[in-house]
Structure 1
Amino acid sequence: MLDTEKIQCPYCWETFELVIDPSEPHQEYIEDCFVCCRPIHLVVDIDNTGGMNIQALSEDDDIY
């Protein structure tokens, strides 16, 4: 089953919905913004209870 979460683009600040596969507890990938088409580095961490922490980073941001 896939989950959806809203994220905010670090470039144009528009909010859009992202589809996430919760079967993998740590994920890193690039997804283009649906509005401005710039590449967003996504870091997704899912804890044991199913809670999600999503970081939407620009090319210049560091991973926290």
Structure 2
Amino acid sequence: MQTTSEFYCAYCGEENTTFVDLSAGGQQSYVEDCQVCCRPNILYLRIDEDTLEVEIDSEYEG
């Protein structure tokens, strides 16, 4: 099951939308390029198992 969520780019600060695979577990991390400045962000996702609410933190890759 997939949903979307937003994160802010660690480089330029712009809001981005990403697809989240809810079946991949309550804590996930992966690298996704910013849709605005194209720089790679490490995303750390936390998914509330009861409400399926997604929280995303991003940081610089490297």
**TM-score > 0.5 by shorter chain:** yes
Flag structure 1 segments of 5+ consecutive residues without an equivalent: none
Q: Identity rate of aligned residues, in percent?
A: 38
Q: CA RMSD in A?
A: 1.4
Unaligned runs of 5+ in 2: none
Higher relative contact order (CA 8 A, sep 6+): 2
The alignment's TM-score, normalised by the length of structure 2, stands at 0.82
Would you tell me which structure has more helix in proportion to its own residues? Answer: 2
Query: May I ask how many residue pairs the two structures share in their alignment?
Result: 60
- Which structure carries more strand by proportion? 2
Deviation by residue 1:38-62 (Cα, 9 ceiling, x = unmatched): 11000111122112221111136xx
Runs of 4+, deviation exceeding 4 Å: none
